[in-house]
Amino acid sequence: MAYWLMKSEPNAYSIVDLKRDKKIYWDGVRNYQARNFMRSMQVGDQAFFYHSNCKVPGIAGMIKIVKMAYPDHTAFDPDDPHYDPKSKADNPRWEMVDVAFVRAFPEVVSLAQLRETASLEKMQILRKGNRLSITPVTPEEWDIILKLAK
DNA sequence: GCCAACGTTGGC
DNA sequence: GCCAACGTTGGC
């Protein structure tokens, strides 16, 4: 059982959308490192839902993995913004997992708040230049952030 | 909108 | 295999 952090731009898909949908496939990951993290995810793993590229970037809630990695079909679709002609149906390059809503935090635990928390200084998301859309979270970091979220 | 940081591509 | 050029990410 592992913990993760998964980024999404709320303009595209937010925790509020997931609350409505209950469950969604996490498509569009086009980075090998992030894909490899998804491959190692197990059903029951939990993750923070991170809002990026928005007014208040930060952790907006909790989700859980409900289906292990399988081919990301959006890579096969020329009309999809994440289309990748190099990913073939008989040899898929990209994968996705299914995630389900767990809860939305009453207030986003902001990036600024995370940065102010000394015990989180080694968190991957806080490292300079970090752009990975999926990163592992340690159990210690998980607990600290849950307390910040109240 | 700016721009630093990063990953990928492709010529050589 | 190197590395310059390019595209993308994402905070500010």
Average pLDDT over residues A107-128: 94
Q: Which nucleotide is nearest to A33 (CA to C1')?
A: B7
Report CA(A40)–C1'(B11) in Å, whole number: 36
Report in angstroms the alpha-carbon separations of A53 from A56, A100, A115, A138, A144. Answer: 8, 22, 17, 24, 24
Of A22, A31, A29, A23, give the one whose Cα is nearest residue A8. Answer: A29
Which pLDDT score, from 0 to 100, does residue A9 have? 96
**Alpha carbon distance A135, A35 (integer Å):** 10
Q: Of chain A residues 19-78, which have a beta carbon within 7 Å of strand C?
A: 30, 52-54, 57
Q: Does the C-beta of A11 come within 7 A of strand B?
A: no
| Full DSSP string of A6-73 | EEE-TTTS-HHHHHHHSEEE------HHHHHHHHT--TT-EEEEEE-SSSS-EEEEEEEEEEEEEE-G
Which nucleotides of chain C have an atom under 7 angstroms from any protein CB? 8-12
A39 and A95 in contact (C-beta within 8 Å)?
yes
Residue boundaries of the structural domains of chain A: 3-149
Q: Of chain A residues 42-71, which have a beta carbon within 7 Å of strand B?
A: none
Which pLDDT score, from 0 to 100, does residue A78 have? 85
Report the amino acid identity of residue A113.
Q
Task: Indicate if the pLDDT at residue A136 is higher than 90.
Answer: yes
Helix (H) or strand (E) holding A139: helix A139-149
Could you confirm whether domain A3-149 is CATH 3.20.20.140?
Answer: no
Query: Per-residue pLDDT tens for A16-58?
Result: 999 999 999 999 999 999 999 999 999 999 999 999 999 999 9
Q: Of chain A residues 117-146, which have a beta carbon within 7 Å of strand B?
A: 127-131
Q: Does the C-beta of A133 come within 7 A of strand C?
A: yes
Which nucleotides of chain B have an atom under 7 angstroms from any protein CB? 4-9
Helix (H) or strand (E) holding A142: helix A139-149
**Alpha carbon distance A54, A96 (integer Å):** 24
Phi and psi at A120, nearest 5°, equal -105, 10
